[in-house]
Amino acid sequence: MNVDENSSNIVKLLRELNGNVENLSSKIDRMIELQASLTEILSPKKKPSYEGLPLDVATLLSLPDHLRKTALALSELGEATATEISKKTGRVRAAESDYLNQLVTKGYVAKKRKSHEVYFYIEV
């Protein structure tokens, strides 16, 4: 084997090595992507949440418009049925009942039964 052949073989080997390194590099990239996806699935980033906080003005401002109106009306009345809230907001009772129960689910409002009526109130 002469010097030219040796040089040609070395260049060929280096090209193969470069190709393998590029393959390896792209596989490592893919593994990093997969790991990131897996981490997101196993422990998703928590979205900021105001749920469970007191129903103060900061919470009120964070609520969607339809729930804010209901929550403000309840703040003013202290304790009320869905019918009483609907009289204050001018919206139908069924909608107010739904919104009040959404506020209960979020932990801002509590409810109790007195005879046949359900009363909603803000726990202080």
Query: What CA–CA distance (Å, rounded) separates 48 from 34?
Result: 25
Query: What CA–CA distance (Å, rounded) separates 93 from 87?
Result: 8
Given 29, 40, 76, 117, the residue binding other proteins (CB under 8 A)? 76
Q: Is 57 among the residues that bind other proteins (CB under 8 A)? A: yes
Window of 7-15, 41-49, 55-63, 94-102 that interacts with other proteins by CB under 8 A:
55-63
Q: Is 55 among the residues that bind other proteins (CB under 8 A)? A: yes
* Per-residue interface string for the shown chain with other proteins, residues 7-46, x marking contact by CB under 8 A: ----------------------------------------
Query: What CA–CA distance (Å, rounded) separates 23 from 43?
Result: 30
Given 95, 104, 118, 122, the residue binding other proteins (CB under 8 A)? 122
Task: For residue 80, give Cα distances in angstroms to 34, 43, 48.
Answer: 52, 40, 30
In this structure, which long-range contacts are made by residues 11-17, counting pairs with CB atoms below 8 Å and at least 24 apart in sequence? none
Q: Is 72 among the residues that bind other proteins (CB under 8 A)? A: yes
Please report, in angstroms and rounded to a whole number, the separation of the first and last CA atoms in the chain: 92
Positions touching other proteins (CB under 8 A) are: 53-61, 65, 68-69, 72, 75-76, 78, 122, 124
